[in-house]
């Protein structure tokens, strides 16, 4: 008997117990029915049991910096731009590219170099801003891509584009595609988990970003929130404890078994299995969210903020715990990067939020031997302009959205660490070397997971859809 779809092993005893001796045979029959002809696919299997290619990475941790961090204050060092601070952006650089309506009407476009310094770090000598001293310590694990570009110029379509490969709302998200393709290797947790930093909202994050689109609903991302009800409706209502719930579920299963005997519909058994999975999640989710068992050394690594639930640091630690439990796609969002004005203050705060925790996550995964099989991605939905939006002063300026070039980094999971890939011009406005499109990034990540991005498709309204639409090239140069 094969239980590849639904694992009853952990409570088989309950299962048989609840039907009593006289019904044991029938129970077996219904289990067999589950395997052979379940009407809806189980929650754990993907459609590509083996993948298309040998996988380098088993899972993804995506640290999404929502709002669009400035590349010029983080990873794209532009001394010439600093020298030209205050000069108007030359038309020869802008080349008539569109601006957002936020700065298109601006009377002047004064160029603004970073007021923060840059140093070279690690054996690779990667340029990293002084705002990111912790990240700089793992420079040799990172592949910094300075030549990412996207098609959207406003937040909503741009984030949607990164998460679903399309600017149009309603397509399946990256994590849903992976869940659909590869399934889950954990029987008690969803394959696709979403964590959002608290208290940093400037641009909205909404459920369609982790939605399943037209893929079956079981592939939707599940938001884990800090607080008493980490997954929606996870907690029993007040007054119902686990034992009482268990007893009720046992009686419910008996009733369903009667129903199955009468009607013969295997869907009945599939639903019983979902109730069991739900019951297991009621234990497994609080268990993974509970950081109290983590040793002191871990908090020393991640920093004191890791003790404060809902912070980026706490979420990074949670991401590691989810990775240990083989969750396939762990999506973190850290909002707050939309610095149209007051950029120096804002980005200092943001870098302070994420710097140490990002370093800690890489280091922690490495120490546990998980980095090699976990692809970590850090970055936002677009970059920011090299000219100031609003008034430029010696200590203050803002930057508008800039889709034409921006920086992200990747680490682990088959990525060649210690590399910097792609380059922009001296003004930090256009890409001059090795452009990487959003679809290329998605194709590359899928490649590392053993998926040929153009072969993981789903037929919807007569067309075979995929994450990378009809585009995407694997960036071979950054593979280990």
Partner 1 sequence: MPTTSSSRRWILASLLALFVRPLGAAGVDFAREIQPLLSENCYQCHGPGETSRKGGLRLDTREGAHGRGKSGKAAVVPGKADESEVLRRITSTDPDEVMPPPETHRKLSPEQVRLLRRWISEGGQWGQHWSFVAPKLPEVPKVRGLRGGNPIDAFVAARLAENRRKPSPQTEPGRLLRRVTLDLTGLPPTPAEIAAFESDPSDESYRRTVERLLTSPRYGERMATEWLDLSRFADTHGFQADRYRAVWPWRDWVIGAYNRHLPFDQFVLWQLAGDLLPDATQEQRLATTFNRLHLQNEEGGIVEEEYRVAYNVDRVNTFGTAFLGLTFECSRCHDHKYDPISQREFYQLFSFFQNIDESGQSVYFGDIMPVPTLLLSTAEQEAKLTALKSDIAAKEAAVREVAAAARPAFTAWLATNGPAEPSPLPVAAYSFDTMVSNLFPNSRGGAGARPFEGPQTVDGRLGKAVALSGENGIGFPGAGHFTRADPFSLALWIQPAMHVPRQTVIHHSHAWMDAGSRGYEILLEDGHVAVGLHHMWPGNALKVRTRRQAPTNAWSHVAFSYDGSSRASGLKVYLDGRQAEVEVVRDNLWKDITYGQPDLTLGQRMRDFGFKGGRADEVQVYDRAITALDAARLASVPPPEGEEAAFEHFLQTAHVPYREAADALHKARREQNSLVTSIPDIMVMQEMERPKPAHVLKRGAYDAPGEEVGMETPAALGRLPAEAPRNRLGLARWLLDPANPLFARVTVNRLWQQFFGRGIVETSDNFGLQGAAPTHPELLDWLAVTFTRGDTALGIRPWNVQDLQRLIVTSATYRQSSRVTQKLHDWDPDNRWLARGPARRLTAEMLRDQALFTSGLLVEKIGGPSVKPYQPEGLWEMAMGGARYEVGKGDDLHRRSLYTFWKRTVPPPSMMALDAADRSYCVVRRQSTSTPLQALALLNDTQVVESARHVAGRILREGGATPAARSAFAFRLVTGRRPSREEAGIVQRLLEEQEAVFRKEPDSAERLLKVGETPVPGEHPPDQLAAATVLAKALLNHDESVMRR
Q: Name residues contacting partner 1, limited to 112-141 (CB under 8 A).
A: none
99 vs 301 by CB, closer to partner 1: 99
42 vs 413 by CB, closer to partner 1: 42
Q: Does 227 bind partner 1 (CB under 8 A)?
A: yes
CB of 421: closest distance to partner 1 in angstroms?
A: 26
CB of 101: closest distance to partner 1 in angstroms?
A: 4
Q: Strand pairing partners for 332?
A: 63, 195
Q: Is 292 exposed, middle or buried (0-12, 13-18, 19+ CB in 10 A)?
A: exposed
Tell me which of 113, 181, 213, 380 binds partner 1, using CB under 8 A. 213
Q: Does 263 bind partner 1 (CB under 8 A)?
A: yes
Tell me which of 17, 24, 86, 104 binds partner 1, using CB under 8 A. 104
Q: Name residues contacting partner 1, limited to 432-451 (CB under 8 A).
A: none
Q: Does 480 bind partner 1 (CB under 8 A)?
A: no
Q: Does 308 bind partner 1 (CB under 8 A)?
A: no
Q: Give, in degrees to the nearest 5, the angle at Cα 13 between 9 and 14.
A: 105
CB of 284: closest distance to partner 1 in angstroms?
A: 11
Q: Does 95 bind partner 1 (CB under 8 A)?
A: no
Q: Name residues contacting partner 1, limited to 314-373 (CB under 8 A).
A: none
CB of 263: closest distance to partner 1 in angstroms?
A: 5
Tell me which of 155, 321, 453, 466 binds partner 1, using CB under 8 A. 155
CB of 275: closest distance to partner 1 in angstroms?
A: 4
Q: Does 471 bind partner 1 (CB under 8 A)?
A: no
CB of 25: closest distance to partner 1 in angstroms?
A: 15
Q: Does 267 bind partner 1 (CB under 8 A)?
A: yes
Q: Count of residues binding partner 1 (CB under 8 A)?
A: 96
Which among 75-83, 153-161, 287-295, 315-323 is the span making contact with partner 1, rule CB under 8 A? 153-161
CB of 279: closest distance to partner 1 in angstroms?
A: 8
Distance from first CA to last CA of the chain, Å, rounded?
Answer: 41
Q: Does 106 bind partner 1 (CB under 8 A)?
A: yes
CB of 91: closest distance to partner 1 in angstroms?
A: 15
Tell me which of 83, 247, 348, 349 binds partner 1, using CB under 8 A. 247
Q: Does 32 bind partner 1 (CB under 8 A)?
A: no
Is 453 within 8 Å of 446 (Cβ atoms)? yes
Is 258 within 8 Å of 20 (Cβ atoms)? no
Tell me which of 14, 35, 287, 294 binds partner 1, using CB under 8 A. 35
Which among 33-41, 141-149, 410-418, 429-437 is the span making contact with partner 1, rule CB under 8 A? 33-41
Q: Does 258 bind partner 1 (CB under 8 A)?
A: yes
Which among 196-204, 299-307, 364-372, 440-448 is the span making contact with partner 1, rule CB under 8 A? 196-204
**CA-CA-CA-CA torsion for 21, 24, 27, 33, nearest 10 degrees?**
-170
Q: Does 274 bind partner 1 (CB under 8 A)?
A: yes
160 vs 419 by CB, closer to partner 1: 160
Q: Name residues contacting partner 1, limited to 368-397 (CB under 8 A).
A: 391
SS (H, E, C) the chain: CCCCCCCCHHHHHHHHHHHCHHHHHHHHHHHHHHHHHCCCCCCCECCCCCCCCCCCCCEEEEEEECCCCCCCCCCCCCHHHHHCCCCECCHHHHCCCCCCCCCCCCCCCEECCCCCCEEEECCCCEEEECCCHHHHHCHHHEEEEEEEECCCCCHHHHHHHHHHCCCCCCCCCHHHHHHHHHECCCCCCCCEEEEECCCCCCCCCCHHHHCCCCCCHHHCCEECCCCCCCCCCCCCCCCCCHHHHHHHHHHHHHHHHHHHHHHCCCHHHHHHHHHHHHHHHHHHHHHHHCHHHCCHHHHHHHCHHHHCCCCHHHHHHHHHHHHHCCCCEEEEEECCCCCCCCHHHHHHHHHHHHHHHHHHHHHHHHHCCCHHHEEEEEECCCEECCECCCCCCCCCCCCCEECCCEEEEEECCCECCCEEECEECCCCCCEEECCEEHHHHHHHHHHHCCCCCCCCCEEECCEEECCCCCCCCCCHHHEC
CB of 450: closest distance to partner 1 in angstroms?
A: 16
Tell me which of 287, 324, 326, 454 binds partner 1, using CB under 8 A. 454
Q: Does 455 bind partner 1 (CB under 8 A)?
A: yes
6 vs 361 by CB, closer to partner 1: 6
Tell me which of 11, 119, 124, 154 binds partner 1, using CB under 8 A. 154
77 vs 155 by CB, closer to partner 1: 155
SS (H, E, C) 156-175: HHHHHHHHHCCCCCCCCCHH
């Amino acid at each position: 008997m094969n239980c590849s779809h639904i694992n009853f092993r952990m409570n088989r005893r309950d299962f048989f117990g609840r039907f009593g001796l006289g019904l044991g045979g029938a129970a077996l029959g219904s289990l067999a029915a589950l395997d052979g002809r379940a009407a809806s696919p189980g929650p754990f299997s993907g459609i590509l049991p083996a993948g298309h290619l040998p996988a380098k990475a088993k899972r993804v941790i995506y640290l999404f910096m929502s709002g669009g961090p400035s590349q010029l204050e983080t990873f794209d060092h532009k001394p010439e731009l600093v020298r030209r601070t205050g000069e108007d952006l030359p038309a020869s650089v802008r080349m008539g590219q569109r601006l957002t309506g936020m700065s298109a009407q601006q009377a002047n476009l004064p160029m603004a170099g970073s007021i923060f310094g840059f140093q070279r770090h690690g054996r690779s000598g990667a340029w990293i801003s002084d705002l990111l001293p912790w990240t700089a310590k793992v420079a040799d694990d990172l592949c910094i891509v300075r030549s990412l570009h996207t098609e959207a110029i406003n937040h909503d379509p741009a984030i949607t584009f990164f998460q679903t490969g399309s600017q149009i709302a309603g397509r399946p998200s990256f994590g849903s595609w992976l869940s659909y393709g590869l399934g889950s290797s954990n029987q008690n947790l969803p394959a696709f988990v979403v964590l959002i930093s608290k208290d940093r909202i400037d641009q909205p994050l909404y459920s369609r970003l982790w939605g399943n689109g037209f893929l079956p609903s079981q592939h939707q991302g599940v938001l884990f929130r800090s607080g008493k009800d980490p997954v929606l409706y996870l907690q029993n209502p007040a007054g119902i404890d686990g034992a009482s719930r268990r007893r009720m579920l046992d009686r419910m299963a008996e009733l369903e078994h009667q129903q199955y005997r009468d009607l013969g519909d295997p869907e009945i058994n599939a639903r019983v299995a979902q109730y069991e999975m739900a019951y297991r999640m009621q234990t497994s989710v609080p268990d993974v969210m509970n950081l109290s068992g983590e040793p002191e050394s871990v908090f020393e690594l991640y920093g004191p903020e890791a003790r404060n639930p809902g912070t980026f640091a706490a979420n990074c630690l949670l991401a590691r715990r989810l990775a240990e439990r083989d969750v396939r796609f762990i999506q973190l969002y850290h909002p707050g990067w939309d610095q149209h004005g007051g950029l120096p203050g804002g980005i200092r705060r943001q870098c302070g939020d994420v710097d140490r925790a990002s370093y800690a996550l890489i280091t922690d995964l490495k120490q546990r031997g998980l980095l090699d099989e976990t692809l970590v991605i850090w970055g936002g939905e677009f970059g920011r302009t090299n000219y100031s939006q609003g008034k430029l002063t010696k200590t203050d300026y803002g930057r508008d959205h800039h889709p034409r070039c921006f920086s992200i980094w990747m680490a682990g999971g088959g990525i060649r660490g210690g590399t910097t890939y792609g380059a922009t011009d001296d003004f930090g406005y256009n890409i001059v070397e090795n452009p990487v499109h959003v679809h290329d990034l998605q194709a590359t990540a899928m490649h590392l997971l053993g998926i040929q991005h153009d072969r993981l498709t789903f037929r919807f309204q007569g067309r075979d859809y995929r994450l990378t639409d009809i585009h995407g090239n694997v960036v071979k140069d950054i593979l280990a």
